[in-house]
Amino acid sequence: MPKNKCFLIFLAVTLSAWNASGANPDSDPQLLIEPTGFLTLADATALTLGLSPHLKPFSLQVNVQEAAAIQAAAYQNPELSLEVENAYGDGPYHSRDAAEETLSIGQTIELGSKRRKRMEVASLEIDMANQAYQVQRMEVLSAVAKSFLETVYAQEQLAYTEESLLMQQEIAAAQGERLKAGKLSESEVEIGRTALALARIDAETARSMWQQAKQALAAHWGNPHPSFQEASGSLAADASLPDRESLRQGLKNNPMLLLASQMIERQSSLMEYAEAERIPNLTAGVGVRRFRESGDHAMVFQMSIPLPLFNRNRGNIQQAQAELSKARAEQASAETRLESLFADRYEKLAAAYRETQAIQETVLPSAELSFRYANESYQLGKFSYLELKAAQATLLESRKKLLDAELRFHKAKVDLEILAGRSL
């Protein structure tokens, strides 16, 4: 399997673009085509952003709030009325001849800056919808990045199992020659055949796991049957441990905290709007009155305002105040939870880094040297097959532990990328 040392660069570039994008999908779905050969992380993220079904509802919610903002800015419609008095009654009023007809137009005037405050709430809700899209976008990108890492892991695990199978085939061939020469017992050869069969099973299992990882990766952009052949990347890319404090300073850019901050702004604006609702609106009107009996006309002026005797909007004001207090408490809780989560993820990153360094510098070189020595000694008849098998098992276990540690390291980096809101 190819190992591309540029993998971390792809990861950093992709993740650094998270906060710089708008709320709309980044790519035209009609222009996105899954590669049939090697798939890079950039390919996977572009396909996911353009085709993921998990982002569409959040993108549409922005449109919903924009439409709501248009409605929030609308003025109240004027009211046209026609009033007929002194008609179809008794005596001289039995017909319309003595009627008074009034045609008027009235307009409700919102006092207390209600319209402006309503528009402020609507604008903040658009901002929240955009930020909610960014939160979901980062979660989707985090998931596809981890899925990509797991695919690379499965590829490298497959490469190691195929290499182990090749080694076992070579050992089995050598055992056959030694059996013919009378230098090996049939029982020892049978043990070798069993080990070869197990190696084949391991290789098939690893291939199946690789196919499953590919399917899980392609599912992020809605493709149940992956077109790409391999994921282009390597877990063995050089990496260093980022500074803890510099990462921690970036927690203020966490998208969830930004959303919580916007929620406080929205609730504060809603409280101001609820307070403005205490002020009754003024209705003014003007019209013309016709006196049918005399044929004269006169102007009519109207003005009315509700008396806030029974409803001063106290309940809505108290509710808005409680919602604002709740939003502030949720922000404080999110900050505490974020600090705890950051400490946990950084410790996992540091532990995986230390384990990776120890295996690379000490364990793996020793295991490789031991296997080479055991293999040479076995060929010379100095070591038994069981001793060779033990050295081979140690080498394979060391490689697997290294892969596991590298996978944990890169996944922890992705988690910290989200928490810190910045590129590592």
**Per the domain annotation, does 43 fall within a domain?**
yes
pTM beyond 0.85, yes or no: no
Show the domain range for 237.
7-420
Q: Is residue 206 part of a domain?
A: yes
Three-state SS annotation for the chain: CCCCCCHHHHHHHHHHCCCCCCCCCCCCHHHCCCCCCEECHHHHHHHHHHHCCCCHHHHHHHHHHHHHHHHHCCCCCCEEEEEEECCCCCHHHCCCCCCEEEEEEEEEECCCCHHHHHHHHHHHHHHHHHHHHHHHHHHHHHHHHHHHHHHHHHHHHHHHHHHHHHHHHHHHHHHHHHHHCCCCCHHHHHHHHHHHHHHHHHHHHHHHHHHHHHHHHHHHHCCCCCCCCEECCCCCCCCCCCCHHHHHHHHHHCHHHHHHHHHHHHHHHHHHHHHHCCCCCEEEEEEEEEECCCCEEEEEEEEECCCCCCCCCHHHHHHHHHHHHHHHHHHHHHHHHHHHHHHHHHHHHHHHHHHHHHHHHHHHHHHHHHHHHHHHHHHCCCCCHHHHHHHHHHHHHHHHHHHHHHHHHHHHHHHHHHHHCCCC
In a domain, 155, yes or no: yes
- One digit per residue, the tens of pLDDT, for the chain of length 424 reads 444 444 443 444 344 444 444 444 455 555 578 888 999 999 999 999 888 888 989 999 999 999 999 999 999 999 999 999 998 888 888 888 889 999 999 999 999 999 999 999 999 999 999 999 999 998 999 999 999 999 999 999 999 999 999 988 988 887 887 777 777 778 878 888 888 999 999 999 999 999 999 999 999 998 888 989 899 988 886 667 888 988 888 888 888 999 999 999 999 999 999 999 999 999 999 999 999 988 899 999 999 999 999 999 999 999 999 999 999 999 999 999 999 999 999 999 999 999 999 999 999 999 999 999 998 888 777 888 888 889 999 999 999 999 999 999 999 999 998 888 765 4
Q: At 359, which CATH number?
A: 1.20.1600.10
Residue 2 belongs to some domain of the structure: no
Answer yes or no: is 248 within a domain. yes
Number of domains forming the structure of the chain = 1
Residue 414 lies in a domain: yes
Residue 101 lies in a domain: yes
Confirm whether 14 is domain-assigned. Answer: yes
